[in-house]
Amino acid sequence: MKTVLLDAGNTAVKWRIVSPDGPWSDADPRGTIPVGTPRLAEELQDACKAAGCSLSDAAGCCVAPQSVQDTIDRATIAALGRPVRWLTAATRFEAPGISLRNGYRDPTQLGADRWHALIGARAVRPRGTLLVVSAGTATTVDTLTDDGRFVGGVIAPGIRLMHDSLARGTARLPRADGAYRPHPDNTGDAMQTGIIDAQIGLIERRIGRIRADQAAASVRGDDADDRAIHVLLSGGNAELLYKAWADAQACDPAATAVVRSVEPDLVLRGLRLRSTREPPT
């Protein structure tokens, strides 16, 4: 039996059909459907049918409007005979080798996508301090300590929202994409480089905060098994940020090692683990 996982974001719905007790595989049927697609329900139904397997469950998280969530439910009811189990953030998560505690003041206020991305990130990187970057419509940067505490994170406009804001708020800046350049010499490249540098600067600022916390812990005599900071970038703009960051050589790992990687579908990874630990009733 298979499960269809659904990550309903502001821009697109990502789906993946997995075996609850099998390995995470690139061969899993998967896809992305823009939220504004008029035939969203039909495309999801078609995807489930095309998978050619017996689906027994649908689990997901949603930060899209309620109307999108209702549309997805109609699709899974038609394909599986049941709506999606919409999973929200929790106070903690436990699985073999994984222990997470939600440090948000009100744990239920944390976005479901961010919580499941943290679970997926810990599955990818079982040890070390993690900085989980979701670069999509918004850019979120969340910190998970070596002992599994989510201590908080930040939210900022994503790359497209920054472009749109410049175009709306200025009289003569175009709504056009440029390229990331070391020294931009035209308006399009200047906008693109400035926006991407702002995104990278946000990440580096959080790295600086982690380093300050680690330094304070050392003064107190606390000891951590792994002082490395693992930056996991996910989302539609992850590759773009990763390449620009590497090209600029913006990160100086002299004080604390920083390991950067692009990890697609962290939310879906987290959903798979959570849905397996909390099976349908």
Q: Of the listed 57, 73, 113, 265, which one is catalytic?
A: 113
Per-residue pLDDT band for 252 (boundaries 50, 70, 90) equals low
Class of domain 2-86: alpha beta
Q: Does 2-86 match 92-267 in CATH topology?
A: yes
Asked whether the predicted pLDDT for residue 250 surpasses 50, the reply is no
Fold for domain 92-267? Answer: Nucleotidyltransferase; domain 5 (3.30.420)
Asked whether the predicted pLDDT for residue 15 surpasses 60, the reply is yes
Domain regions of the chain by residue span: 2-86, 92-267
Tokens representing residue 152 in the block: 């908080």
Q: How far apart (Å, rounded) are the C-alpha atoms in residues 11 and 9?
A: 6
- Per-residue model confidence (pLDDT) at position 222: 64
Average pLDDT over residues 212-235: 79
Any catalytic annotation for residue 146? no
Q: How far apart (Å, rounded) are the C-alpha atoms in residues 17 and 121?
A: 19
Name the residue among 166, 197, 165, 163 with its Cα closest to residue 177: 163
State the pTM of this model: 0.92
pLDDT in tens, 140-154: 999 999 999 999 999
Average pLDDT over residues 107-123: 97
Q: Is-contact 2 18, C-beta < 8 A? A: yes
